[in-house]
A and B are shown apart, each in its own frame.
Chain A
Amino acid sequence: MNDRRGSITVDRNTCVVCGACAAACPAEALVVEGLSLVIVPERCRPCGIAALVCPTGALACPGGK
């Protein structure tokens, strides 16, 4: 069940919208829209995968790792 400990958060100063997190997110909770990263908190499980693959360390995940 979706234990809502909060969803993933992004540091907009560090994120370069490369899309690695979108490729790895199993829940489509992170989507690259144009040149922006859109987070859909209600879809986030949160599992930690996006934060793990992020090349810049821009993502923080309360449930992951």
Chain B
Amino acid sequence: MTVIRGFDVVVIGAGPAGSRAAAQIARGARRVLLLEKRPRVGYPVRCAEAVGPREDVERYLPLDDRLVSSPVNGFLIVAPDGTRFERKMPGIGFVVDRELFDQRLAAAAVSAGAELRTGHQAVGLIREGTQVRGVRVKDLASGSEYDEPAAITVGADGVESLSPRWAGLKKSLRPDELFSCAEELIDGIELPGEAIEFHLGRRFAPGGYAWVFPKGKGKANVGIGINPLQAGGKTAVEYLNAFLAHRAPGGKRTRLVIGGCSVARGLSALAANGFVAVGEAANQNNPFSGGGIVNALEGADMAASAILHALSGGSASAKELGAYTREWRRTVGKSNDAFYHAARIFYGLSDEEMSRMGRKLSRVPGLFDEKGIRPLLMVRALVAARPRLLVQFAGSWLGGKGRR
């Protein structure tokens, strides 16, 4: 059954960014279509599932025991030389059931009035000159294509997104702008409490890190993310196998999660004429950790409010929608920039340098606040630990400037 009617906004992708944006726009009494290429929202999971403090998420979605697999009450960092840094930090975060989380967010969008179409994929943008006027959609079940016109299109299509590229906001990710990741949900692993673990060094994760995130009931997500340019020709799965043999021998593998994770610099513009990008599609996740769920939700709210404003003013120009870019860059985008530069230094260190730096970092007062590591203090400490880094740090700013 096809009802001919126009949408004010079409959102591409029903992950956290897309579903939240769709919900907020629908709550503003606008007609919203939410497209999801997969047959089932949230499945398969492509995420390590660690999130920051509960209250950061509860601003967007109420949490219950089904959504929270495990609380996180501290962390353990293991340096390449085996030195361990532990800190108890009650309430620092939790590990989420990401499939259910995405489904709840999509359901909230539908409750707010958005129309959700799963199995329907954006295959191009409709354009009039430089203005994006909606989306060309493919119904994957039938193979047929149709146009879905809209005043504004939201690209929330994740790491593999093409829509921000079609809109001219983004290029493909360079190999060193993504972590190549592999993870197993392990049943039967020894866990010293409800801490998240990070293991550094080239043996397990060259140019990235290995992690253990508790999932409750003796289970944990055990994974690695590597910089493909530093991997010496080995795949993420090969590094995962080595890490599992070390950290979870005898554990039962119950779910393989594979994916690329953007650690790219933030986009200089998040809006084009009739188009905005949000979430990982817009490089909004943290370029140091790769984490992006809360960032996506924050970005979605900023995008939605700029979109509602633009629609009420009757203009969907890049200039009008640019309020969203400015808001983002003034807030989360700013700390992401610091994380980006810290990451370029940190993940380029040799094992020996990283171990030495870890010992210094562990003594920096105030490096961690209740939400985790503070990026500017980390950069300062990295530089203080090795003065030559000043030169590299300056270089990373200069070299990065204007690249994207």
B28 at interface (Cβ–Cβ under 8 A)? no
CB of B180 within 8 Å of the partner chain: yes
A19 in the interface (beta carbon within 8 A): yes
Question: At the interface, yes or no: B282 with Cβ under 8 Å from chain A?
Answer: no
Does the CB pair B259–A19 fall under 8 Å?
yes
B159 touches A23 (CB 8 A): yes
Residue tally, chain B, CB below 8 Å to A: 35
Cβ–Cβ < 8 Å partners of B228 in chain A:
52-53
Any chain B CB within 8 A of the CB of A39? Answer: no
Chain B residues near A55 (CB-CB < 8 A) = 180-182, 235-237, 258-260
Q: With A32-B37, A35-B39 known to touch, is A24 a contact of B174 (CB < 8 Å)?
A: yes
Identify which of residues 29-65 in chain A touch chain B, using a CB-to-CB cut-off of 8 Å: 31-35, 49, 52-57
Q: How distant is the Cα of A22 from the Cα of B46 in the complex, in angstroms?
A: 14
Given A19-B159, A20-B160, A32-B160, A56–B37 Cβ distance below 8 Å? no
Q: Identify the interface centre among B160, B172, B178, B237: most chain A CB within 10 Å of its CB.
A: B160
Q: From residue 47 to 88 of chain B, which have CB atoms closer than 8 A to chain A?
A: none
Contact with A along B29-49 (1 / 0, CB 8 A): 000000001110000101000
| Contact among A24, A31, A34, A35 for B260, CB-based, below 8 A | A24
Q: How far is the CB of B268 from chain A (nearest CB, A)?
A: 19
Interface centre among B121, B182, B237 (most CB of A within 10 A): B237
- Which residues does B use to contact A, with CB under 8 Å? 37-39, 44, 46, 119, 121, 138, 140, 158-162, 165, 171-175, 178, 180-182, 228-229, 235-238, 256, 258-260, 262
Given contacts A18-B258, A18-B259, A53-B260, 6 further A-B pairs with CB under 8 A are: A19-B158, A24-B174, A28-B165, A32-B160, A34-B140, A55-B236
User: What are 25 A-B pairs with beta-carbon distances under 8 A?
Assistant: A16-B256, A16-B258, A18-B259, A20-B159, A20-B178, A22-B162, A23-B159, A23-B161, A23-B262, A24-B172, A24-B174, A24-B178, A24-B260, A26-B171, A32-B37, A33-B37, A34-B121, A49-B172, A52-B175, A53-B178, A54-B180, A54-B235, A55-B237, A56-B182, A57-B235
Give the interface of A toward B (CB within 8 A): 16, 18-26, 28, 31-35, 49, 52-57
